[in-house]
Chain A
């Protein structure tokens, strides 16, 4: 999957919708080994729209993880819960 030369790649994908679903399965860790082999090792090398989509979906997933996660629960909430349970 090098992106050095894209000129030999297909500029259009006849199966875009199914491919998009497949690459989401792969990124979500839900695809089988065979599905992954086929898609990542063969299809992505020859299909420009899917290659681009793959990197787009990957980037969105990364952004969601880094920008929308990692907040801490307020410490007073943690204390309140512990107090209520301790007193139960």
Chain B
């Protein structure tokens, strides 16, 4: 899926248009949702998605017709976000993230984080609670939940999109879900549910 590494295809102008319209454009809504969940800003998301599609067109001969276009596009968007957007916004999460992941990988934390959340409390979360809880997560944890639970990517696809080993996908997803449950427990408490 690497833009530069893939064996180059040769497409006519007509083929390029066909691939773009029939294999790339159908994912525009998922791509916009991904961009929005990463940047948390409608305008930034539009820019990010537009950049991604223009790049995809420019490098279209690195894409093999009929393969997983959605994963290919998501990977470009994720890389554009890291390279262009994060730099611009000076978001400190990249640095913090290492610390955060080390922290959450320690066994000790696992014992502490046992959010006691009930299904009944979730049934009353009919507003933006879940969306806000997701948005409040550190971007790297947010990303694995978006890819897995919102978009339904398999672990091996996520590994390729994120350039990390499958084992890391699994552990990061596990931590991300614990953190999400923590946030949801806070909401549940505010809603008057006892969580003990």
Q: Using a CB–CB distance below 8 Å, which chain A residues touch chain B?
A: 16-17, 20-21, 24-25, 28-30, 52, 55-57, 59-61, 63-65, 67-74, 77-78, 80-82, 84-85, 88
CB-CB under 8 A from A85, the residues of chain B are 17, 20, 53-54, 57
Task: Provide the B10-35 mask, 1 if CB < 8 A to any CB of A, else 0.
Answer: 00000001001000010011011100
Contacts of A71 in B (CB 8 A): 29, 32-33, 36
CB within 8 Å: A-B pair count: 98
Among the 9-residue stretches B62-70, B83-91, B96-104, B145-153, the one with 4 or more Cβ atoms under 8 Å from chain A is B145-153
B41 to chain A, nearest CB (A): 13
Instruction: Give the 6 A-B CB pairs with smallest separation, nearest first.
Output: A73-B32, A64-B149, A63-B130, A73-B28, A67-B130, A81-B53
Q: Is B154 an interface residue (CB 8 A)?
A: yes
Indicate if B134 sits at the interface (CB-CB under 8 A): yes
Q: Are B122 and A81 in contact (CB-based, < 8 A)? A: no
If the complex has contacts A71-B36, A85-B20, are A21 and B174 also in contact, measured as CB distance less than 8 A? yes
Apart from A73-B49, A78-B28, A84-B54, list 4 A-B contacts with CB within 8 A. A21-B174, A60-B177, A63-B122, A85-B54
In this assembly, does B160 line the interface, its C-beta being within 8 Å of a C-beta of chain A?
no
User: Do residues A60 and B150 form an inter-chain contact, with CB atoms below 8 A?
Assistant: no
| Cross-chain contact B29 with A72 (CB below 8 angstroms) | yes
Given A29-B154, A63-B125, A69-B150, A17-B50 contact (CB < 8 Å): no
Docked Cα-Cα span, A61 to B25, in Å, equals 26
| Inter-subunit contact B130/A77 (CB<8 Å) | no
Q: A73 vs B119: C-alpha distance in the bound complex, in angstroms?
A: 32
| A44 CB → nearest B CB, Å | 15
Q: Do the beta carbons of A68 and B117 come within 8 Å of each other?
A: no
Nearest Cβ on chain B to A55's Cβ, whole angstroms? 5
Q: Say yes or no: A30 contacts B130, CB within 8 Å.
A: no
Which residue of chain B has the shortest Cβ distance to A55 in the bound complex?
B119
**CB within 8 A of A57: which of B20, B28, B123, B177?**
B177
| 7 contacting pairs across A/B (C-beta < 8 A) | A20-B174, A56-B119, A59-B123, A64-B149, A80-B50, A81-B49, A85-B57
- Cβ contacts under 8 Å, A72 to chain B: 29, 32
A17 to B108: give the CA distance in the assembly, Å: 12
Q: Do A24 and B154 have beta carbons less than 8 Å apart?
A: no
Closest to B174 in A: A21
Given A64-B150, A67-B130, A71-B32, A56:B122 Cβ within 8 A: yes
CB distance from A14 to the nearest CB of B (A): 14
